[in-house]
């Protein structure tokens, strides 16, 4: 089984960036309410948070686009927002980071997805979600497909970021995958269990070990069960490759040519895995667009994920940070 030392990952990382990549999926706004707790409420046995600050970050497919932007690529973000204050905040953040908003579709019949996390003393106390998980209407789907068709004329790859919030429908998946395959465009999917059987014949799918095990009806507890689940999904979906993320245990890459690669984590500390899947798929696809083979792309994404899970909330790794991480790891490995 090839070890990382067999690849020149620094050379691969140096080529990252400069590619146009479509990102299609569920947009989110991640809100953080920061404070401290000094007492328990007299009304109910719950902590009283004295709010000191409030911040907002891009989440979901928007965070995938932000990850690509940090690596120097040109993401074209396609998704749905409501017509509300949260959509204004979301667009402002996108523009701040140099991500165009012209391909977004506004739907007055649904809210912009917002996840509000209340954090005190470095610990998340509670999360409140404002969202609709209903599938978008046929009219909204048509608008999305029109933007996707136009974007595919110049895109090097497509990332489908499915959080199960209604944007990624069976019809949209079928048409997007067919259009991309006709043009020979690389298609990567960050999946949701409900749509698993609709991700057929894509280039790569990146479930975590819980999702992969659930769909296969078998818990991943050993390397043998990992291989059983991985090969089963790869053959069932007829995908070119499958990358199962395993948290602190790293990753496992399955390829159609029957190559199997175990990739141990490089993370020194696992603080918060929020958004780690976004980082994995964005860095994997960025590497492929830069000429990496699938194994090299997986090793690159492993390094990128190792950086972001050491921070609280959604985070991104820049091209320079990733190059430095790989260089340091190679020198000390």
CATH number at residue 206: 3.40.1190.20
Q: Which residues contact 113 (CB under 8 A, 6 or more apart)?
A: 26, 27, 28, 29, 59, 60, 129, 130, 131, 132, 165
Averaged pLDDT, 271-299: 87
Band of the pLDDT at 272, cuts 50, 70, 90?
very low
| DSSP states along 158-191 | EEEE--SSSSS-HHHHHHHHHHHHHHT-EEEEE-
For residue 246, is it within any domain? yes
Please give the DSSP secondary-structure letter assigned to residue 79.
-
Band of the pLDDT at 81, cuts 50, 70, 90?
very high
Measure Cα distances from 114 to 34, 193, 244 in Å: 16, 21, 27
| DSSP states along 80-94 | EE-SSHHHHHHHHHH
Q: Kindly tell me if the per-residue pLDDT of 331 is higher than 90.
A: no
Contact status, residue 49 vs residue 118, Cβ threshold 8 Å: yes
Q: Domain range for residue 234? A: 4-28+57-113+131-332
Q: Kindly tell me if the per-residue pLDDT of 256 is higher than 60.
A: yes
Structural domain count of the chain: 1
For residue 91, is it within any domain? yes
Query: What is the reported pLDDT for 183?
Result: 96
Q: pLDDT > 90: what percent of the chain?
A: 78
Average pLDDT, the chain: 91
Cα 240 to Cα 253: distance, rounded to the nearest angstrom = 11
For residue 122, is it within any domain? no
Catalytic residue, candidates 30, 73, 162, 278 = 278
For residue 313, is it within any domain? yes
The dihedral through the CA atoms of 131, 137, 140, 141 has a sign that is: positive
**pLDDT for 83-134, tens place per residue?**
999 999 999 999 999 999 999 999 999 999 999 999 999 899 999 999 999 9
For residue 264, is it within any domain? yes
Cα 50 to Cα 16: distance, rounded to the nearest angstrom = 43
- 278 included as an active-site residue: yes
For residue 35, is it within any domain? no
For residue 195, is it within any domain? yes
Averaged pLDDT, 201-205: 97
């Amino acid at each position: 089984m090839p070890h990382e030392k067999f690849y020149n990952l620094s050379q691969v990382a140096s080529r990252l960036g400069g590619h146009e990549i479509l990102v299609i999926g569920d947009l989110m706004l991640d809100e953080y309410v920061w404070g401290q707790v000094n007492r328990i409420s007299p009304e109910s046995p719950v902590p009283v948070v004295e709010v000191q600050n409030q911040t907002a970050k891009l989440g979901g497919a928007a965070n995938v686009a932000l990850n690509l932007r940090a690596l120097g690529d040109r993401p074209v973000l396609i998704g749905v927002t409501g017509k509300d204050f949260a959509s204004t905040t979301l667009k402002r953040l996108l523009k701040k980071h140099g991500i165009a908003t012209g391909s977004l579709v506004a739907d007055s019949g649904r809210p912009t997805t917002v996840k509000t996390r209340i954090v005190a003393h470095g610990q998340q106390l509670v999360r409140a979600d404002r969202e609709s998980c209903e599938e978008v209407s046929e009219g909204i789907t048509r608008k999305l497909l029109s933007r996707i068709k136009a974007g595919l004329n110049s895109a090097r790859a497509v990332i489908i970021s499915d959080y199960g919030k209604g944007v990624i429908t069976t019809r949209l998946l079928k048409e997007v995958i067919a259009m991309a395959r006709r043009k020979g465009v690389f298609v990567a999917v960050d999946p949701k269990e409900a749509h698993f059987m609709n991700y057929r014949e894509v280039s790569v799918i990146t479930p975590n070990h819980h999702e992969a095990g659930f769909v296969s009806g078998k818990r991943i507890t050993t390397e043998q069960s990992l291989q059983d689940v991985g090969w089963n999904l790869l053959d069932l979906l007829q995908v070119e490759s499958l990358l199962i993320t395993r948290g602190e245990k790293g990753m496992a890459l399955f390829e159609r040519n029957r190559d199997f690669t175990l990739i141990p984590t490089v993370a020194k500390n696992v603080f918060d895995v929020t958004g780690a899947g976004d980082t994995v798929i964005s860095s994997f696809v960025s590497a492929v667009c830069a000429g990496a083979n699938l194994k090299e792309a997986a090793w690159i994404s492993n390094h990128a994920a190792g950086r972001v899970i050491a921070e609280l909330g959604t985070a991104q790794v820049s091209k320079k940070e990733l190059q430095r991480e790989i260089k340091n790891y190679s020198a000390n490995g």
